[in-house]
Structure formats: structure tokens, C-alpha cells
Amino acid sequence: MSKRIDISDLANPVLTDMQRAAVDYGETLTIDFNRDTLLAEAAETTGLTDFGPSDFVERLDLLLDEWNSDKGLTGIARLSLRNKLLSFAKSRLLIHDLLKRHPEIHQQTIDRPIIVAGLPRSGTTHLLNLMAADQRLRSLPLWESYEPVPMPGEAVTGDASDPRFQRCQQQWDMMQQMTPYLAAMHPMNPEHIHEELELMGPDFASYNFEWLSHSPRWRDHYLTTDQTPHYAYLKTILKILQWQDQQRLGEHYTPRRWVLKCPQHLEQLPVLHKTFPDATIAVTHRDPVAVIQSAVTMLAYGQRINRRTVLMDELINYWSERIQSLLKSCVRDRPLLPHAQSIDVPFHIFMADDLAMIEHIYAKAALPYTPEAHNALQNYVTEHPRGKEGRVDYHLQRDFNISPAELRKAFTFYLENSPAKPEL
């Protein structure tokens, strides 16, 4: 039986000795959110200076200013956020340099990908990782999403010996020590198959920054900006990864279709289809209340390290509105996807028989559901039972002062126009 996890100190956390030491250490640091200094450090670390088109600077400046102005962030949070932006800046340099040296990368073809679009916490992660167990499909492990192009002189091994894998492992080890319940809510181990929106990071784009820190100004910018160029940037990096596979494997290389997923796609379905016109798109559907309570609990848990005060009211209000926005776009745009290239995946049906749902998705994608594929997927299910790392007990009323029924009222428009069913 899975271990039950009840985080009873969500609003008023009682820090462990390690968490307290980390927070105290962060307060001794002076974290520089200056753009010129950050870009100079990225250039010095990589030995490169050409960041490519400069349109990213405006977006980077917005993030730096919003996060630098947030007085509620702890020092350790400021360090983490700056390191994330520094990592993206370094990747941007490496990506642009590789494309200049190997323009043939642009000729790569991303052939008929299978893309999952659905709310966070709606089964998208399990669906993605399950299909990724089929070795006929190319997926994106977390370590590769963080650093799609290696540092100059580093070996590209594509396995656990890769320096990028090792760096990601170190981050995960530290994260598990600092926030041990995170594995039960959102595993971030290096081999975990991850969202491709991470690949928009070097373009300083995507709604991902909203998850890293409370960022309403960034949200407003993102929602009023055409995301087409950033999806094109994402596609280019997929081409890079495919090209790197060819270079590494040589004559042993076999082309594979990509399997991808990202909740952001729900509000970018027309852009997604325009960018990947031959994709099969699987749209997951789940009770928004179950999604929200899971998301805000996870974010509140992380804030015990990242904020001086956990923003309980702000979290429930922000993400209730944000999920509404995602779903309104989905209800509006879902009919625009070609029937022959799209399929709905209701959470309750998927959880009842996940392999049967995979069969339906494969049929839509014209990918044979072979005995070999079935065995690979079955092995994954056996080795990754639901709740393997523990099951978190959620308490909307206790922790966020709102009942499931009250919260669900705002989502009548979605429940009446989708196959999702109330769960709580």
C-alpha cells in the first residue's frame, strides 16, 4: 500500500534543520539580477558571445525586473531563479553556435509527432512516460531538456554517463533533500520524460516561468504575445536533438517519431497545429478541481523554501483563474483540430485502463500497437505503480478555505463541453 502523505503545515511550515540552514544561507547572499552581468557570465562560461536575434532581451528584462522586485522571495529562491535564467542564456549561446556551424540541422524533419495536451496534474505525465517506454518513439528526458546542447568539449553519450545527466542528477538529489515530498507530486529525476516547453526557455518564452515563481506581469505579457515564433524555436531544438542522435549513432541511427506533452498547448492549439501540421494531438480531460488542488498544494509546499510567507490565498486565486483561462481556450479551439489527427483522453477512462487508451491513440496516429510495444508498456506500468513514491492527501477546505463544490462552480462551462467528470 502506498504511503499516505499529509502536509499539515502547508500554510505555516515547520522547516527541517536542512531547510532552515539553506534559507539562512540564502540570506547571506547578494544575488545580482542585472541583465548585462548575467549575459556576460553566460558568455564567459561557454566561451561564446553571439546570442543570436536580440528580441529575447525584452523578455529577459521583464523576468529580471519582476523577480528582482519581489520582496517576498528568499535569498535561496533568488539564487535558484537567477541560475535558471543563466542556464537558459548559456543554452541560447550553445544552440545558436551549433546552428551557425551546422546549418544543415534546419533540414531535419520532425515527422508525425504524437503530442499530449492537457491540464497539469491530469494524467499527462503518466501518458507521456508510458508511451515513451515504446522504443519506437523518441522522447525528451529531463536532463536533455535542461541542456539540449552540451558544453564545448563535453562528450555526448546519451546515457547516465553524460555530464548533463550528472548535473541533473545532482540537482534532483539536492531537491529531494530539501523538499522530500516532491517526488510524490512531480518527479524530477534525470531520466523522467519531461515537457518540451523547457526547450523554449533559451528563447525566454513559455508559461513555464509562472510555475517557477509568482509572475503575473510575465503572465500578462505571455497571454498577449503571439507564441508562433517560440513554437518554431522549440521545433528547431527538436531538430538539433534529432541531428545529435544521428551524429552519435552513425549507421546505427534509426529515425523515430517524437512523443511530447505540455499543458501550455491547451491555450495554443492553433499555434501547435500550425507548427506541427502532421501531429496527432491527444487532449486529456480531468475535473479542474482535482487539478487545482494538486497544483496549488505542490506550489505551496515549494514556497516553504522560496518565500518568506506562503501565498495561500494568492495561489488558489491565481491558479483557479489560470486554469479557467487554459480551459476556455481549449473549449474554444478544440474543434479546430482535425478529427483524423486528434483524440480526447478522459482521465477516468485512462486511469481505468491505460493500455487500452494507448491503443486508441496509436490507432489515431497510425502506429501499430505491436506485441513488443504492449510488453514494453506493460513493463513500465508494473515498474511504476501509481503512488509509488507515496500519495498526497489534499485538503482544499482546510488549507485553502474553499470547498470542491464551490470551486467547481467556475468550471461549469468546461464540464458541460468536455468528457471530464467531477471527482471530489
Among the listed residues 251, 231, 205, 245, the one whose alpha carbon sits nearest the alpha carbon of residue 115: 231
Specify whether the CB–CB gap between 207 and 264 falls below 8 A.
Answer: yes
**158 Cβ contact partners less than 8 Å away, ≥ 6 residues apart:** 245, 248
Tell me, what's the pLDDT at 2? 63
Render the burial of 267-301: b for 16+ CB within 10 Å, e for the rest.
Answer: bbbebbbebbeebbbbbbbbbbbbbbbbbbbbbbb
pLDDT in tens, 43-83: 999 999 999 999 999 999 999 999 999 999 999 999 999 99
Q: What mean pLDDT is predicted for residues 191-195?
A: 93
Is pLDDT at 1 greater than 50 in this prediction?
no
Question: How far is residue 2's CA from residue 378's CA, in Å, rounded to a whole number?
Answer: 20
Is pLDDT at 343 greater than 80 in this prediction?
yes
pTM of the model: 0.96
Q: Which three cell numbers stand for residue 52?
A: 543570436
Question: How far is residue 236's CA from residue 419's CA, in Å, rounded to a whole number?
Answer: 34
Task: Give the containing element (helix H, strand E) for 88.
Answer: helix 75-101
Question: How far is residue 328's CA from residue 345's CA, in Å, rounded to a whole number?
Answer: 18
Is pLDDT at 385 greater than 90 in this prediction?
no
For residue 351, which amino acid is it? M
| Rounded-to-10 torsion of CA 366, 367, 368, 373 | -160
Among the listed residues 108, 332, 409, the one whose alpha carbon sits nearest the alpha carbon of residue 235: 108
Specify whether the CB–CB gap between 34 and 89 falls below 8 A.
Answer: no
Banded pLDDT at 387 (limits 50, 70, 90): low
Give the lowest-confidence range in 178-182, 286-290, 330-334.
178-182
CATH number of the structural domain 4-415 = 3.40.50.300
Is pLDDT at 247 greater than 80 in this prediction?
yes
Tell me, what's the pLDDT at 184? 80
Specify whether the CB–CB gap between 86 and 38 falls below 8 A.
Answer: yes
- Tell me the backbone φ, ψ of residue 4, rounded to 5 degrees: -90, 135
Spatial strand order in the sheet of 257-261: 137-138, 257-261, 114-117, 280-285, 342-346
Specify whether the CB–CB gap between 384 and 129 falls below 8 A.
Answer: yes
Is pLDDT at 340 greater than 80 in this prediction?
yes
pLDDT in tens, 85-139: 999 999 999 999 999 999 999 999 999 999 999 998 888 999 999 999 999 999 9
Tell me, what's the pLDDT at 75? 97
Task: Give the containing element (helix H, strand E) for 117.
Answer: strand 114-117
Q: Tell me what the pLDDT averaged over the chain comes to.
A: 96
Domain boundaries, the chain: 4-415
Tell me, what's the pLDDT at 187? 82
Banded pLDDT at 141 (limits 50, 70, 90): very high
